[in-house]
Homo-oligomer: A and B are copies of this chain.
Amino acid sequence: MTAAADQPGRGWSVGLDIGGTKISAVLVDADAMPRSALRVPTRRGVEGVVDSAAEATERLCAAAGLTPADLDVVGAGVPGMVDSTTGAVSHAVNLGIDGVPVALGDLLGNRMGRRPVWVENDLNVAALGAAQVLRLTGDLAFLALGTGVAAGLILDGRLRRGHLGIAGEVGHIPYVADGARCACGQHGCLELYASGSALDAAWPSRWGRPAPAELFEAAEAGDAAAVRVRDEYADAVAAGVRTLVLTCDVAHVVLGGGVAEVGAPLQAAVVAALRRQAVGSAFLTSLRIADRLLLAPRGSQLAPLGAALSARMAHTDPSTVKVAS
């Protein structure tokens, strides 16, 4: 261990969102504010992930005149099952990590100036980032509409990880009886209707822009087929939102993931779908589900920011990651 590693930090931390194709990294200052950000491609497999995460961290530090050894902590969000107390990762199929759990936290720490590394599920860190950026007081679901559909949950100010770390897996609740087979082996899962992948399939990109953007623009221009695809998609997303409210009664549901880049038109479509579902139901109307809906701000780096926040909180009190209210 170097002398630098023993020095008390000046409050710097780095947050990483390690995705299947890229790693998004932010440098966070002592006031928990993001100061700079960059992206690097993800190399697959344990060694590749560690190498690319270290590269992102080193470049981010170097640009600020720091080294990884100057950091208080590093936080990493990973798309897989994470034992956050040990930093062990399993079932991170998109990273090429599967089979026996991998001690990713230790491996990353050894490559990053022996700083403490806190590993967390990627949706959980996105939820923490959303709480900070949207100034929510710690009760929300971050519903990611991307390749799949799943939520990170903060309930009563604490991350809800769950018994097996699968809390928020609403994408694998059946939505259409006897629907198509899902990659998970069930039929008709919500993910098949509410994911970004579902939109890509239902409305393939024609002009080289993201499929959701093209779809929502065509629908707004009055294309009847686009209106139908958009509204059926919004119905599915609204069903996921309703399920999160009826089970967890979260104060807020933040729509994130690639589809959320559509912005306000997505929110408007889902609000309309929620209102359609509540017609004739005083009960559902009384829950004011549409009022709970929020959008992840575009380009807001929620996941890497949340990864840094979770690491800072865990460093202070490893027993619990809480959201300041």
Contacts and interface: CB of A to CB of B under 8 A. Distances in A.
A173 B281 CA distance: 12
A2 interface: no
A246 B169 contact: yes
B277 A166 contact: no
Interface stretch (A29-37, A153-161, A308-316): A153-161
Contacts of A164: 249, 286-287
Interface in A144-172: 155-156, 158, 160-170, 172
Contact of A185 (B158, B239, B284): B284
A247 B161 CA distance: 10
Contacts of A115: none
B281 A251 contact: no
A176 B292 CA distance: 25
A127 to B, nearest CB: 14
A218 interface: no
Contacts of A58: none
B248 A160 contact: yes
Interface in A181-198: 184-186
A64 to B, nearest CB: 37
A281 B246 contact: no
A174 B245 CA distance: 13
A169 B283 CA distance: 11
Interface residues of A, number: 43
A8 interface: no
B280 A249 contact: no
A86 interface: no
A167 B249 contact: yes
A174 B167 CA distance: 20
A302 interface: no
A314 to B, nearest CB: 15
A246 B243 CA distance: 10
A139 interface: yes
A101 to B, nearest CB: 14
Nearest to A162: B249
Contact of A249 (B165, B173, B176): B165
A177 interface: yes
A250 interface: yes
A162 B248 contact: yes
A245 B163 CA distance: 9
A251 to B, nearest CB: 4
B250 A184 contact: no
A167 B284 contact: no
A27 B211 CA distance: 63
A283 B184 contact: yes
8 cross-chain pairs, A with B, having the tightest CB-CB distances, nearest first: A162-B249, A185-B281, A167-B249, A184-B283, A163-B251, A247-B247, A185-B280, A169-B246
19 contacts: A139-B163, A155-B155, A156-B160, A161-B249, A164-B287, A165-B249, A167-B249, A172-B246, A173-B243, A177-B177, A184-B281, A184-B283, A184-B284, A186-B277, A186-B280, A186-B283, A243-B247, A244-B247, A247-B248
